[in-house]
Structure 1
Amino acid sequence: MNESNHLPAQIKTVWRISAIFNTLLSAGVGVAGVIIHYFFNYQWLLYAAGFFFIVAVIDFVVEMSLVPYRYSFWLYTLSDDAVELRSGFIFRKLVSIPIARVQDVTLSAGPILQSQKLQEVRITTASTSHKIDGVEPEVGEQLRKQIMNLAVEVRNNDV
């Protein structure tokens, strides 16, 4: 039960699709600037549009090239007393969520996650919530049951 788990390989596709959408959004702002310049002849909008296009391309290249690193550094561990989430390849982050503080575990999946047959696991405490980006539905359901069973067990032992 204390074994560290990687996210499934399909999450890399989800991250790539998200990077494409982010790039399209940034490029869309640039296109809007060019269109407004065409109608109102605001010269500064061309510079702003060029800036948005350059930022969009740089962001796209960086996000796509860092997907394999992001994947290799994202781990989660479930133990009897905590859920640990490890992430980050430049700035490492370790989050320990005490089982005794868990109030809710929610499974959700948007269209991109559904296309890859994945679910997001959101663990909610009184003060905040944390998420495991994408796991297979069977694993997500198993995690939800295990975490909630451990939380109920801890609460029953405290009484």
Structure 2
Amino acid sequence: MTILTGLGFVLILVGFFLVHYRYAVYRYRVNDRSVEIQKGFFFRQLTAIPIDRIQNVDLDQGPLLIFCHLQKVVLVTGGSHHEIEALTVEDAKAFKDQVMLLAKEARHES
């Protein structure tokens, strides 16, 4: 029983540090045409999501993110979804508002 408790504590501690690691290696940029997400430290990945393809922006927050005062942003498109792992609560809400406004404007222009 002591081993399981110790293992659980180690997993929680590792998860806590991974949240801060993920927050440090994510970059995003929003412009009128796309949202660009760059992630990864050793293996970098750059994803560009066209604004007019974004259908919804969800904000998710599990227990660990709540503890760290962070939120995960999920960009939902017709065929997939893209995530920004950890933003501050204020940044996540501002990001959602900005992207949804740009997506609405892009759909009206089409």
TM-score normalised per structure 1: 0.55
Please tell me whether residue 125 in structure 1 is matched to residue 68 in structure 2: no
Please tell me whether residue 150 in structure 1 is matched to residue 94 in structure 2: no
Summarize the alignment of residues 12-91 of structure 1 with structure 2, pairs less than 5 Å apart: 20-21=11-12, 72-91=24-43
Aligned length: 99
Say which SS state the counterpart of residue 127 (structure 1) adopts: coil
Report the AA paired with residue 103 of structure 1: Q
Report the AA paired with residue 112 of structure 1: L
Change (3 A) 1:120 1:71: closer
Say which SS state the counterpart of residue 74 (structure 2) adopts: strand
* Ranges in structure 1 where 5+ consecutive residues have no aligned partner: 1-18, 24-63
4+ runs of 1 displaced by more than 3 Å?
Answer: 70-73
* Ranges in structure 2 where 5+ consecutive residues have no aligned partner: 1-9
Report the AA paired with residue 11 of structure 2: I
Identity of aligned residues (%): 35
Q: Rg bigger for which structure?
A: 1
Cα pair 2:23 2:86 within 8 Å, conserved = no
Please tell me whether residue 105 in structure 1 is matched to residue 96 in structure 2: no
TM-score normalised per structure 2: 0.78
Distance between the aligned counterparts of 2:25 and 2:67, measured in 1? 24
Change (3 A) 1:117 1:145: same
Distance between the aligned counterparts of 1:89 and 1:118, measured in 2? 20
Counterpart of 1:136? 88
The structure with more strand, counted as a fraction of residues = 2
The structure with more helix, counted as a fraction of residues = 1
Shift of 1:74: 2.1
C-alpha RMSD of matched pairs (Å): 2.5
